[in-house]
Amino acid sequence: MNKYCPRCHKYTEHTISTYKKGQDRNRAQGKRRMDRKTKGYGSFPKPIQHRFAKTTKKTALKYKCKDCGYIIQTKGMRLKRLEVVRT
């Protein structure tokens, strides 16, 4: 897809992919806190949500410049199905 690249300051070819959650880091502050709280006896610190009002999750698109490798990430939008059509 042809799109403006802010680093190259011109229109270049971009490849499109969707944002995916990265791997959890084992020593991140949130993970360490969670491990300390769930250690030993006692209940889970936060209630687990079972019923959701929304039926879809947000999808964010990533555009990668083929010239310099710069990645533009768009705002997430709620989609049921994503289809990339070549124009």
Q: Which CB atom, from 71 or from 84, has the smaller least distance to Zn ion?
A: 71
User: Among residue numbers 18 through 57, which ones bind Zn ion (CB under 5 A)?
Assistant: none
CA angle, corner 13, sides to 9 and 16, nearest 5?
Answer: 115
Does residue number 13 form part of the binding site for Zn ion (CB under 5 A)? no
DSSP 51-77: --S-SSEEE-EEEEETTT--EEEPPPE
Give the Cβ contact number of residue 84 at 10 Å.
11
Does residue number 67 form part of the binding site for Zn ion (CB under 5 A)? yes
Does residue number 7 form part of the binding site for Zn ion (CB under 5 A)? yes
Residues that bind Zn ion (CB under 5 A): 5, 7-8, 65, 67-68, 70
